[in-house]
Chain A
């Protein structure tokens, strides 16, 4: 029998196969290394997100020292919500430590607690609040950046509005035509649609979910532990902490702990204080006259700094206080 395959034919095949295998191995190594780099870079991203949550947590503490305890729609609230001109009002608080008397806040104008009667619920001392972060499709009171709502007519000189600033439309306009004013049909602005404008669309953008959260534990009148998380546990400490309904957002216990294992958590202690001030003010020496005693201040770079920008000291305001100090905790605290 004649052999149809020459033994020399395999040489080229072996060489090509060997080189190909070498190239494939190098490519695989390259890909593995790149994947490793990406995974390590992911940790950098997580860390940055967690630090962003520290800023968010501090902002939350500052703003809720004054606002956010709105009971105006709760007719059963205790104590009753004050009524002004027949309307239940939005209540303002006066700090985590009330600036008027040093009592534990938030308290309303009459000095009544805005914390609710259940002492196991936020914001009572010894309780926590969870704040998973996501981007809403439309935030409340969203306005559009589109300009030119009130163009000056420059083409038709016969128009009575020629070259006049019209100011027909409120400016800025609501985003996505949520109750935007139309001069042709002014009736389109309605109370019902205003509610829509006020609420926006709270539907979370899917891509923004499960990225980061913060959680605040109040351990004193004005001291807090902020836990900053970068991951998808939504700030739950462990499985046992969750209610049955809360557990439904995770497929099962093992999945939750898998998320937890890949999550970064940083713990900080902070102290809030009302002893802040609008930072751009300073008292003047030479702005008015060197030779006179006066009590006026100068707000450089402030929005109300116009040409004659001197103000009395009553303009020095501290709307939401400030954070007195921040301490990263070396180890995870037992309660947070």
Chain B
């Protein structure tokens, strides 16, 4: 084989220079392309990670919307479930019914009954086993009762929680026999703005036929100027005392008033509104406790009485809209920090607990014109930050990973039960913050309570005729 002489095979200087230049350009271009591709991959990985974290945050929020696990984890022991107990609020001053025991949103109905907060009484049976439907499935146990059954006197004397009861408009015991116009009148029976006009209870004393008590009682006296049109001006000013004693207690309407009187202390004010039908009148005549001269429990009618707001200084009966127009009730995350309603939020803190936590479930918070400035604005900030208490999606993570926070806050505003979900992502690299926020539709409190076993874990439920049904938090 002939070989090419070495001297002939070598590069000339020109060839070498061109070759080196071209080779350098190729390598530079290749390196540049590689670097760009590498950076693109890095950024893409980063974005992928951030998107993945956001997705995880979204699903965590959806889980909380459907299972309320941010407020109560049923898989934990009772010692780690602060919203499951019931106690008094601990002798706080200026607190309505401060010595009464109160429950919280996840206190079992059985415990509420056993502890006398919402005790079962009467002879009305609770349906123990739903009927089997034609297709072989088990029916639901919430059943309307026929008029012939619910018109019996024994039904009005029923007390406590009945999960089988269908709160139907046709059922007379669900009717609130309150005079919507009746006002709490100050000033000795004259108008509450000082004008001498109408006497108290001009339309009659409703407490004598609708009351928490069914036994004859003596009602509070009150004074009236009975004849404002008397020809003799002096007679118009003659004050007369009105008294009732020993009025008949038989056949009095008592079921509705007792339901409200107990339910208001059972699970917190937000739950009070959620368990009552949307058309409820928040007025109940009572024979005990703090009440007006007309016998209406102050909790439902007196401005700024914990449950009620002071908008317009309203002193008569209200529905859900009026109660949640200028103020809201909310579900407070028990892991949110304990500090004063009007205090500047601290940089760190300890979780709410004990009396303070219970009190926060038994008060309203300004959420309208009263919350635009000063202390009202601070209380609204407190409510929103404690209802939507942001919590880390991951307990631990690499420091370069994005931080994701999730919260689902539930409040009632203008009669709307709102669940606001928020997912936030912080980038540790550039400090960028992204927040997804939406109002979600999902499980309500009653649904969440029915999901939970009476003791620990999730309650089994199925509609197969032979399926096991576990007792849940609403099982009496």
* A and B physically associate: yes
Instruction: Give residues in A with beta carbon < 8 Å to B.
Output: 1-2, 6, 12, 15-16, 19, 22-23, 26-27, 29-30, 33-34, 36-37, 40-41, 43-44, 47, 51, 54-55, 58, 97-104, 119-120, 125-127, 219-223, 225, 266, 268-269, 271, 273-277, 279-287, 290-295, 313, 316, 318, 322, 324-331, 333-335
Q: Is B143 an interface residue (CB 8 A)?
A: yes
CB-CB < 8 A to B313: which residues of A? 285-286, 290
Q: Is B322 an interface residue (CB 8 A)?
A: yes
**Is A283 touching B180 in the complex (CB atoms < 8 A)?**
yes
**5 pairs of A and B residues whose beta carbons are closest in the complex:** A327-B447, A275-B277, A220-B140, A126-B133, A285-B314
Q: Is B325 an interface residue (CB 8 A)?
A: yes
In the complex, what distance in Å separates the CA atom of A240 from the CA atom of B118? 48
| B461 nearest CB across to chain A (Å) | 7
Q: Given that A40-B55, A126-B139 are known contacts, is A33 also in contact with B322, CB under 8 Å in the complex?
A: no
In the complex, what distance in Å separates the CA atom of A295 from the CA atom of B316? 11
**Contact size class for B?**
35 or more
Q: Is B467 an interface residue (CB 8 A)?
A: yes
**Is B181 touching A294 in the complex (CB atoms < 8 A)?**
yes
Nearest opposing residue in chain B for A296, CB measure? B181
Q: Is B121 an interface residue (CB 8 A)?
A: no
Q: Is B345 an interface residue (CB 8 A)?
A: no
**Is A331 touching B317 in the complex (CB atoms < 8 A)?**
no
**Is A273 touching B66 in the complex (CB atoms < 8 A)?**
no
| B195 nearest CB across to chain A (Å) | 5
**Which of A34, A99, A127, A225 is within 8 Å of B170, CB to CB?**
A99
Q: Given that A23-B33, A33-B48, A328-B451 are known contacts, is A283 also in contact with B317, CB under 8 Å in the complex?
A: yes
| B62 nearest CB across to chain A (Å) | 6
| A195 nearest CB across to chain B (Å) | 36
**Is A326 touching B443 in the complex (CB atoms < 8 A)?**
yes
**Is B44 touching A30 in the complex (CB atoms < 8 A)?**
yes
19 A-B pairs with CB atoms under 8 Å apart are A30-B41, A40-B52, A51-B62, A58-B441, A102-B147, A102-B171, A120-B135, A219-B137, A219-B138, A221-B144, A221-B166, A222-B144, A275-B279, A286-B314, A293-B198, A293-B316, A294-B181, A334-B467, A335-B133
**Which of A275, A282, A287, A322 is within 8 Å of B168, CB to CB?**
A275
**Is B169 touching A37 in the complex (CB atoms < 8 A)?**
no
**Is B52 touching A15 in the complex (CB atoms < 8 A)?**
no
In the complex, what distance in Å separates the CA atom of A229 from the CA atom of B56? 21
Q: Can you add 5 more A-B contacts, CB < 8 Å, to A1-B2, A126-B134, A219-B137?
A: A37-B48, A51-B440, A102-B171, A283-B322, A295-B180
**Is A26 touching B37 in the complex (CB atoms < 8 A)?**
yes
- Interface code B33-76, partner A: CB below 8 Å = 1, 0 otherwise? 11001101100110010011001001100100011000000000
**Which of B168, B312, B451 is within 8 Å of A102, CB to CB?**
B168
